[in-house]
Structure 1
Amino acid sequence: MKAVRLDKLLSGLGYGTRSEIQKLARAGGVELDGAALTDAAARVPVGPDLPDRLKIDGRPVDPPPGLVILMHKPLGATCSHKEDGALVHDLLPPRWRRRDPAVSTIGRLDKQTSGLLLLTDDGDLLHRVISPKRHVAKVYRAALARPLTGREGAIFASGELMLEGEAKPLAPAILEVISPTEARLTVTEGRYHQVRRMFAAVGNHVEALHRERLGGLALPDDLAPGEWRLATEAEVVAIFG
């Protein structure tokens, strides 16, 4: 188990600068295994049990690096750190903006798309999920402006559909018709506004879009829009299942 200096650990988790952490420790605001830890230079073992062992002002410390956040992204929130308006990062504790390594979304959902969104500070995991070589499937439910014609499934599955402005055809995608104006689409790529552009290419318009699944991981029924929780190890494994 790796041991890290207290001031470096807590500043990396967004609790303040190293000097601020030193003041906090001297004031008795840090406890390790129930005892005050006043030396900010003390080395703290960092493992999954850190929040159970280390308390800041009587509260469990935030999870150490390696966290994966499972969020039900609401409509109107942007997957960005800096754009105007509501941001998905606004839904997390404010100090998490100062974490190092930074918490980033795994891929993006546009402002008007809701559903399953993962965030992490694990760069290796992020790249494994979004890597084109992994072919991690993404499942969307789309409400359409016009009834389906019946030809869309074959076009999407052909591997020959070209999006406007692109030189490479899309990989085959699977269409499941739910109703005349609603469908579920499974894609393995993450091109810009891909699902919306696919339906536009066959003469339709997506009025509402919701991501239900990423790989083998489905959006939990108990997460309302705007809610989030830490993903379990089994859920992270399920992405690649």
Structure 2
Amino acid sequence: MKDKQSKKNRNPFHQKTPSKKLDEVISYPIRLNKYIAKCGITSRRKAAELVKQGQIKVNDIVVREPYIEVSEHDQIAYEGNILQPETNLFYLLLNKPKDVITSTADEKGRKTVLDLIPSQGRGRLYPVGRLDRHTTGLLLITNDGDLTTKLAHPSHQVRKEYVALLDEPLADEHFEQILQGLQLEDGLAKVIGLEYANSKQLNHIRIAIMMGRNRIVRRIFEHLGYKVKTLDRTYYAGLTKKGLPRGKFRHLSPREVIMLKHFV
């Protein structure tokens, strides 16, 4: 059997320890999709889709070009409502519990992450990225569409760390295969860190990735024949869940917000 300690040393995990509302000033002219994102209704990417679908009016005229520039004198409307930029930005970090949906609403009536946050005075918020229903852990929630777009874009290498509990110990050969990268149905899955989270229980695995593909951590282990019993995200873009109980949230500090914006 290979020395597990040497693997741990070879794949270190750097746990950085890293608001309330922050005011933002809009610089004009500004691209239409970016303006919509700053109004807090969606991300820039989804805003561009709304424009292309003809759901946005500029000065009472339907436009389908998301990258035109608008000024502070232009009137932008969506679903008959005039959009105003969110100058009071909120940044919340949630420790998501199991069986909660990462969405702003659920057609089946299931509890969503926004149900865990008091609605009074919060404005319109939405989660950054996704955690599937059964995955727990860190989730960023904000009304900053610009930051959401940047964090979700594949070109920005956002580090995410998870602890997985498998149905059986991870074999040495599978440990090495994961480190080298696995070819899944949607392409190569590469990790940037892998270690045994508990030296006495070799089915507890800590894994770090920068990919944002759907259920990627679960699929890595399932590809090798393991069942993921629990999966918990413990680190996201420099933020940890230290001191944050399951099902609770906190405001990011101004320093953490600056760190996130410089991160991307």
Q: Does the CA contact (< 8 Å) of 1:70 and 1:231 recur in 2?
A: yes
Q: Which residue of 2 aligns with 1:232?
A: 253
> Highest relative contact order (Cα 8 Å, sep 6+), 1 or 2?
2
Rounded to whole Å, the distance in 1 between the matches of 2:155 and 2:140 is: 19
Q: Does the CA contact (< 8 Å) of 2:24 and 2:87 recur in 1?
A: no
Q: Which residue of 2 aligns with 1:54?
A: none
Aligned residues: 177
Q: Compute the TM-score of the two structures, normalised by the length of structure 1.
A: 0.66
Question: Alpha carbons of 1:198 and 1:2: their partners in 2 closer, same or farther (altered >3 Å)?
Answer: closer
Larger Rg: 1
Rounded to whole Å, the distance in 2 between the matches of 1:2 and 1:106 is: 19
Of residues 190, 195, 214, the one that matches 1:192 is 214
Of residues 164, 188, 193, the one that matches 1:174 is 193
Q: Which residue of 1 aligns with 2:110?
A: 85
Rounded to whole Å, the distance in 2 between the matches of 1:234 and 1:2 is: 15
Q: Does the CA contact (< 8 Å) of 2:95 and 2:137 recur in 1?
A: yes
Rounded to whole Å, the distance in 1 between the matches of 2:259 and 2:180 is: 28
Q: Compute the TM-score of the two structures, normalised by the length of structure 2.
A: 0.61
Shift in Å, 1:95 = 4.5
Correspondences of 1:216-227 after superposition (within 5 Å): 216-221=238-243, 223-227=244-248
Q: Which residue of 2 aligns with 1:6?
A: none
Deviations 1:120-150 (A, max 9, x none): 1111111221221111110000001011101
Rounded to whole Å, the distance in 2 between the matches of 1:147 and 1:235 is: 36
Correspondences of 1:193-212 after superposition (within 5 Å): 193-212=215-234
Unpaired stretches in structure 2, ≥5 consecutive residues:
1-22, 26-38, 41-85
Rounded to whole Å, the distance in 1 between the matches of 2:161 and 2:258 is: 17
Shift in Å, 1:156 = 2.1
Correspondences of 1:105-184 after superposition (within 5 Å): 105-159=127-181, 161-164=182-185, 166=186, 168-178=187-197, 179-184=201-206
Unpaired stretches in structure 1, ≥5 consecutive residues:
4-11, 14-62
Shift in Å, 1:235 = 2.0
Shift in Å, 1:154 = 2.3
Q: Does the CA contact (< 8 Å) of 2:128 and 2:140 recur in 1?
A: yes
RMSD of aligned alpha carbons: 2.5
Rounded to whole Å, the distance in 1 between the matches of 2:155 and 2:251 is: 26
Rounded to whole Å, the distance in 1 between the matches of 2:131 and 2:251 is: 19
Rounded to whole Å, the distance in 1 between the matches of 2:258 and 2:173 is: 36
Question: Alpha carbons of 1:96 and 1:142: their partners in 2 closer, same or farther (altered >3 Å)?
Answer: farther
Rounded to whole Å, the distance in 2 between the matches of 1:194 and 1:115 is: 16
Q: State percent identity of aligned pairs.
A: 32
